[in-house]
């Protein structure tokens, strides 16, 4: 059969655009990068997206399409809009409809529309589903799904099991492709990437690390957001390196040199019950031990390969950090082997085959 035509209604932007628009989630952008590569293995994919920005007057009034650029090798279109509260979502929905119509005129009818979370793309997807019968797939990333889609891709394990959608697949993500370069650990460092606000867990991690004794340990924190207390702790402890938002090359360099990774997601923060910490697969791609809370969004597959934070008490957290950082070679290699085994069934190639089978079974064998 000919390759399916898929419209992905979500922008996947290059590094310069991510730097220019701080509201765009690097984690979401990174996840979609892997997802579209998986789709492109057996489909023709076209992307339509916009740069997220805080509503005016806190953000720019005019979001011009010319100021954003999709990641290279991705075919698609960036749409601009007037960023005024109340009317901006209406404008974006209309822009989506216009862009999809232009695609249809040029390339023909797509087989699927795929949207992510509830956004202005939702109304456009519903419109073409109703008017032309195009199958609409909704990705539930970090919130509740909307009714009416033909199928659902759900990242969060707990939400996948508790939702009553008839046609759904649990797909949390795939491992990114990275170089296999091995670096020596000059210091035993903990690497954290993600939000630097209190709900991401960076502050709790810094507090626990600050209790540790020993100049041979370091904590590297990367990501967006700010916390006065976090900056205060970092300024008082030279072992804590607060990098902020950095580019892909520098991020890869740090990950390659890190000794372990940390995902101390706050358990009692309500949004963390619905989302999936996609940074875990990014961490696991480096085949190094990962300390993590075990939130409801994680499938049982992760139970054996994460060093779980079972007690969020600061002193207990410090003791766990020390125990992990002082592992001997045999213990370290034990975790590496477990992760390597896990990774064989969590590549984007593996996920693309699962997704392809799901599409055929539910929409193409009828």
Q: Identify the pLDDT of residue 215.
A: 85
Q: Which residues of 59-86 are buried (b: 16+ CB within 10 A; e: fewer)?
A: ebeebeeeebbbbeebebbbbbbebeee
Domain count, the chain: 2
Contact 148, 41 (CB under 8 A): no
- 183 found inside a domain: no
CB burial of residue 184 (10 Å; 0-12, 13-18, 19+): exposed
Assigned domain for 211 exists:
yes
Same-domain pairing of 256 and 336: yes
Q: Give the range of the structural domain holding residue 155, as residue numbers without chain letter.
A: 4-174+347-364
Task: Give tens-digit pLDDT for 132-166.
Answer: 999 999 999 988 999 999 999 999 999 999 999 99
| Domain identity same for 202 and 94 | no
Query: What pLDDT score was predicted for residue 313?
Result: 85
**Which positions ≥6 away from 58 have C-beta within 8 Å?**
none
| Residues 88, 30 share a domain | yes
Quick one: 99 and 124 in the same domain? yes
Residues 43 and 152 in one domain: yes
Q: Are residues 203 and 119 in the same domain?
A: no
- Asked, for residue 232, whether it belongs to a domain, the answer is yes
Q: Is 181 domain-assigned?
A: no
pTM (two decimals): 0.93
C-alpha distances (whole Å) from 229 to each of 128, 358, 362 are 48, 47, 50
Amino acid 265: pLDDT: 79
Residue 180 lies in a domain: no
User: Do 233 and 320 belong together in one domain?
Assistant: yes
Does 319 lie in the same domain as 296? yes
Angle at 273 between CA 177 and CA 154, to 5 degrees: 50
First to last CA, the chain: 15
Burial of 207 (0-12, 13-18, 19+ CB in 10 A): middle
pLDDT in tens, 85-111: 999 999 999 999 999 999 999 999 999
284 in Cβ contact with 305 (< 8 Å): yes
Could you tell me if residue 182 is inside a domain?
Answer: no
Check if the beta carbon of residue 320 is closer than 8 Å to that of residue 293: no
In terms of domains, do 165 and 232 share one?
no
Name the residue among 256, 243, 323 with its Cα closest to residue 285: 256
CATH assignment of the domain containing 220: 3.40.50.2000
| Average pLDDT, consecutive stretches of 10 residues, N- to C-terminus, the chain (366 residues) | 90 95 92 93 95 95 96 95 95 98 97 97 98 97 93 95 96 86 76 86 94 93 90 95 93 94 75 75 95 91 93 89 96 96 93 94 87
- The structure tokens listed for 177 are 């492709």
- Are 134 and 267 contained in the same domain? no
For residue 327, being part of any structural domain is answered with yes
Can you give the pLDDT at residue 266? 66
CA torsion sign for 134, 139, 140, 142 is negative
- Both 199 and 252 in one domain: the answer is yes
């Amino acid at each position: 059969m000919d390759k399916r035509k898929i419209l992905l209604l979500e922008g996947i932007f290059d590094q310069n655009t991510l730097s220019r628009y701080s509201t765009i989630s690097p984690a979401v952008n990174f996840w979609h990068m892997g997802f579209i590569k998986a789709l492109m293995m057996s489909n023709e994919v076209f992307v339509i997206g916009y740069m997220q920005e805080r509503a005016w007057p806190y953000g720019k009034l005019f979001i011009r399409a010319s100021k954003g650029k999709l990641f290279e090798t991705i075919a698609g279109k960036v749409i601009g809009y007037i960023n005024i509260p109340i009317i901006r979502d209406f404008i974006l929905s209309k822009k989506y409809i216009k862009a999809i119509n232009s695609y249809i005129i040029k390339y023909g009818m797509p087989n699927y529309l795929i949207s992510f979370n509830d956004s202005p793309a939702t109304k456009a997807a519903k419109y073409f589903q109703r008017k032309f019968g195009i199958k609409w797939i909704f990705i539930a990333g970090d919130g509740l799904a909307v009714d009416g889609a033909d199928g659902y891709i759900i990242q969060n394990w707990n939400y996948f099991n508790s939702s009553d959608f008839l046609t759904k697949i649990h797909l949390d993500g795939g491992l990114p492709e990275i170089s296999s370069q091995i670096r020596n650990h000059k210091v035993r460092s903990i690497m954290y990437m993600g939000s630097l606000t209190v709900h991401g867990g960076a502050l709790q991690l810094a507090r626990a690390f600050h209790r540790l004794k020993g100049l041979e340990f370091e904590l590297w924190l990367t990501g967006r957001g700010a916390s006065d207390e976090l900056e205060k702790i970092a300024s008082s402890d030279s072992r804590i390196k607060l990098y902020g938002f950095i580019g892909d090359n520098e991020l890869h360099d740090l990950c390659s040199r890190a000794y372990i990774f940390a995902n101390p997601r706050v358990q009692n923060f309500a949004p963390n019950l619905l989302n999936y910490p996609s940074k875990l697969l990014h961490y696991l791609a480096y085949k190094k031990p990962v300390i993590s809370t075990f939130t409801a969004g994680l499938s049982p597959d992760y139970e054996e390969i994460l060093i779980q934070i079972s007690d969020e008490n600061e002193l207990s957290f410090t003791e766990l950090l020390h125990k992990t950082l002082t592992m001997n070679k045999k213990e370290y290699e034990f975790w590496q082997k477990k992760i390597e085994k896990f990774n064989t069934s969590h590549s984007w190639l593996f996920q693309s085959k699962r997704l392809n089978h799901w599409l055929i079974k539910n929409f193409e064998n009828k």
